[in-house]
Structure 1
Amino acid sequence: MTALLPAELAWYVTGRFYQAGKDGPVADYGYFLHLPFPDLPLFDGKRGETTAHFTFAARPFQAQGVTNGGLSLGVDPVGEFSLYLQRRPAGTFDDPASFAQGECIATFRRTSLVVGTTVDATIGAKTEALVGTNVFSARLVASTPFEFGGGRHDLADQIGRGVTQFGTATGAPILPPPKGYTLVLPFTGSAIALGR
């Protein structure tokens, strides 16, 4: 299998941001729609969170906020997230910790602060968040080879030193949020390889 070139597409993800409490920690969880392993089955059946073999989970972090007119900026500290192989898929957005099950196959550390931008709009007398974006780079700090789908694979061989990911989130929260969380926002992300 050929390693990705720098800036070549590495993955697509979809997931949700979860906030615990009004000003509590935030973490994101979800699953992969694409990985640089063309022959691997990513799902056990129809594409969705409950059938995904490859999931991710972030370590919770404390976000800070800045406002600039109709823009709300979330400033997230440097942190880590891990990728998991679930041979028997068990992920569900009703239980975000379920995405951190299975075999940890890689861990990434964001290289700097992440600034996420949410566009707000005033509709009548109410201000609502419409859409949010972010971009970050993350270095691969650990990778474990794994056997799956009839072959041996290692994410480090494919993407090199890490990724830069571009994300888009909706401003419309999931209601009601799961127990223990006050805000849940769905997002999607696409990442390019940093290369060697």
Structure 2
Amino acid sequence: MALLLPGELAWYVTGRFYERSDQSLADYGYFLHLAGIEADLFRGEPSESTAHFTFAAEPFTPRSGVSNGSLSLGRDPVGDFSVYLQQEPAGDFNDPLSFARGQRIATFRRVNIVVGTTLDVAGPGKPQPLLSSNVFSARLLISDPFEFAGRRYDLRHQIGKGVTQFGTAAAAALPADETPKDYVSAVAFSGSALALIGS
């Protein structure tokens, strides 16, 4: 399995940020693309319920943000997230912990704060969010070999030392009926990551 070239796309994900009443956050979701996997990542039409590769973050509490004109800059602390292989897909956005099932095949640690930017514009009564983005780098801590669709893989060989991910999130939270009962809000997002290649 050839190692990715510097700057080559390592993965593409989609998921949701979930907030609890204590203001802690965590994100869960699944992979639309994962470099080096030479088989379909889904059992059927692509969706959270058919995804073989999922991810789950350890909950964290955001730090106080910074404002600069119409930009609101969030600062999320260093933390870990893991990648899972679900031979029997079972992801469900109404049950966020369902994305942390199956075989854990890798764990990453964000090595710097996650800077998230929200663009607001003046609207009737108060500013309205238009766009939210974030970026972070994460180093690969643990990588366990795994078998999928008759082949053996190891993310350490496929991705290298880690990733830098660029994310885009919805400007508004999902409706209350799409938010699990143990959470106060849920926001959809997508992210693309470049491989960290180095000696």
State the TM-score, normalizing by the size of structure 2.
0.95
**Residue aligning to 2:124:** 124
Count of aligned residue pairs for this structure pair: 195
**Residue aligning to 1:40:** 39
**Residue aligning to 1:54:** 53
- Once the two structures are superposed, the pairs formed by residues 3-152 of structure 1 within 5 Å of their partners are 3-21=3-21, 24-64=23-63, 65-152=65-152
Superposed displacement of residue 2, structure 1: 1.1
Q: 1:76 is aligned with what amino acid?
A: D
Superposed displacement of residue 134, structure 1: 0.8
Q: CA RMSD in A?
A: 1.1
**Residue aligning to 1:159:** 159
Superposed displacement of residue 37, structure 1: 2.3
Superposed displacement of residue 120, structure 1: 1.3
Q: d(CA) in 1 for partners of 2:70 and 2:132?
A: 12
**Residue aligning to 2:196:** 194
Q: d(CA) in 2 for partners of 1:170 and 1:68?
A: 20
Q: Secondary structure of the equivalent of 1:51?
A: coil
Q: d(CA) in 2 for partners of 1:152 and 1:120?
A: 47
Q: d(CA) in 2 for partners of 1:113 and 1:126?
A: 28
Superposed displacement of residue 40, structure 1: 2.0
Superposed displacement of residue 69, structure 1: 2.5
Q: d(CA) in 1 for partners of 2:80 and 2:24?
A: 14
Superposed displacement of residue 82, structure 1: 0.2
Deviation digits for residues 174-195 of structure 1 (CA, Å, limit 9, x no counterpart): 1112111112111100001011
Q: d(CA) in 2 for partners of 1:63 and 1:183?
A: 15
Superposed displacement of residue 122, structure 1: 2.1
Superposed displacement of residue 123, structure 1: 1.6
Superposed displacement of residue 130, structure 1: 1.6
Gaps in structure 2 of 5+ consecutive residues: none
% identity of equivalent residues? 60
Q: 2:188 is aligned with what amino acid?
A: P
**Residue aligning to 2:180:** 178
Q: d(CA) in 2 for partners of 1:180 and 1:67?
A: 30
State the TM-score, normalizing by the size of structure 1.
0.96
Deviation digits for residues 124-145 of structure 1 (CA, Å, limit 9, x no counterpart): 1132222111111100000000
Q: Secondary structure of the equivalent of 1:126?
A: coil
